[in-house]
């Protein structure tokens, strides 16, 4: 459910709703995969001005988010709080860290439980004018560190205008002023953390990203078949230890578990949007043992697949 104003809008997430979550990138495609059992809920406060675009979000459960970022804007993520490590493009990060994403890159981020974050999209020319340019061949630049006390204090103040603590919808002038303050916080934090990774680190990341992308493509081509890691390794000519290492470094999860959770997310999206039977949808995503599938689905989403399907049909009627 979204509520809007000329300056921005709010997305309330009271269920795992892949369609609503697309709004978090405002122009791009975003896929969320629930990594933790329970009833998902969250809120994203979106705001737009001439300065930048911001998405201030909070989720209750651990999630994996993957999507294509805008080619016109450079994205910066600020990790405010969460119960555990964040993982971005295979790098384990902590609360207070920043990440800069290359325009048009594929974002891959695992969020811990009780996560609160800010995503800011800024015109490239503004960053380039200050000397902040992404190194060639890098999809994301990790900038670790704790927020300065004054930066943390300013963000706490801005949360009352741009974030989940806001008491009223700001007008366009107030939004412009708040965004200018937000951008100044980003300038300050980028300036003191800025560094260029070594060529070796860039090459290692690119190799791992290519392997993970190849696995994802293989899974798409075999989406209707039961998952067999031995068949995957044989078809791709990759030893299982190399596959395990790549997935653990990138996602913090074993490939078998992550691929299964990705399939569950696609099943839920289909149940919410398609007029097909639960059996056909489940088997179409590789879940051929329907009893096990139903138990797994209910454990993760807090309701049976048939309940999801009935609720979606009732809303569309």
**Each residue of 95-114: pLDDT tens digit?**
999 998 887 777 888 899 99
Across 32-60, average pLDDT: 86
pLDDT of residue 280: 92
Structure tokens at 24: 């978090």
The CATH number assigned to the domain with range 201-316 reads 1.10.10.60
pLDDT of residue 310: 87
- Asked whether the domain spanning 201-316 has the same topology as the one spanning 2-197, the reply is no
pLDDT interval class at 6 (50, 70, 90): very low
pLDDT of residue 17: 54
Domain borders along the chain are: 2-197, 201-316
| Residue linked to tokens 């406060």 | 45
Rounded Cα distance, 159 and 289, in Å: 47
Span 2-197 CATH architecture: Sandwich (2.60)
Q: Percent helix, strand, coil in the chain (nearest 5)?
A: 45, 25, 30
Considering the chain, what percentage of its residues have pLDDT values greater than 90?
24
Q: Is the pLDDT of residue 182 over 90?
A: yes
Q: Is the pLDDT of residue 20 over 70?
A: no
Contact between 170 and 178 under an 8 Å Cβ cutoff? The reply is yes
pLDDT of residue 15: 57
> What phi, psi does 146 have (nearest 5°)?
-90, 145
pLDDT of residue 19: 52
User: Whole-prediction pTM value?
Assistant: 0.79
Q: Is the pLDDT of residue 4 over 50?
A: no
| Residue linked to tokens 């964040």 | 86
pLDDT of residue 83: 94
Write the pLDDT tens digit of every residue in 131-175.
887 777 778 888 999 999 999 999 999 998 898 888 777 888 888
């Amino acid at each position: 459910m979204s509520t809007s104003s000329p300056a921005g809008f709010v997305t309330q997430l009271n269920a795992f709703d892949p369609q609503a979550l697309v709004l978090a990138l405002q122009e791009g495609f975003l896929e969320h995969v629930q990594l933790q059992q329970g009833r998902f809920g969250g809120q994203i406060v979106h705001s737009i001005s001439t300065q930048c675009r911001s998405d201030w979000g909070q989720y209750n459960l651990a999630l994996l988010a993957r999507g294509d970022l805008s080619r016109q804007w450079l994205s910066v993520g600020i990790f405010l709080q969460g119960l555990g490590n964040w993982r971005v493009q295979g790098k384990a990060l902590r609360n207070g860290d920043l990440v800069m994403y290359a325009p048009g890159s594929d974002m891959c981020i695992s969020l811990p439980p009780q996560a609160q974050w800010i995503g800011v999209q800024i015109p490239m020319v503004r960053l380039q004018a200050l000397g902040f340019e992404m190194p060639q061949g890098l999809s994301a630049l990790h900038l670790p560190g704790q927020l300065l006390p004054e930066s943390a204090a300013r963000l706490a103040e801005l949360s009352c205008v741009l974030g989940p603590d806001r008491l009223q919808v700001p007008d366009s002038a107030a939004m412009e002023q708040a965004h200018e303050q937000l951008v100044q916080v980003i300038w300050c934090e980028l300036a003191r953390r800025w560094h260029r990774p070594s060529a070796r680190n860039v090459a290692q990341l690119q190799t791992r990203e290519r392997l993970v992308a190849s696995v994802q493509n293989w899974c798409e081509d075999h989406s209707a078949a039961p998952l067999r890691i031995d068949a995957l390794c044989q078809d791709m000519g990759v030893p299982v230890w190399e596959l395990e290492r790549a997935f653990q470094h990138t996602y913090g999860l074993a490939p078998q578990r992550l691929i299964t959770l990705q399939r569950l997310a696609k099943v839920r999206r289909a149940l919410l949007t398609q007029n097909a039977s639960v059996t056909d949808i489940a088997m179409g995503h590789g879940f051929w043992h329907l009893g096990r599938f139903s138990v797994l689905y209910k454990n993760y989403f807090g309701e049976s697949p048939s309940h999801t399907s009935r609720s979606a049909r009732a809303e569309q009627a």
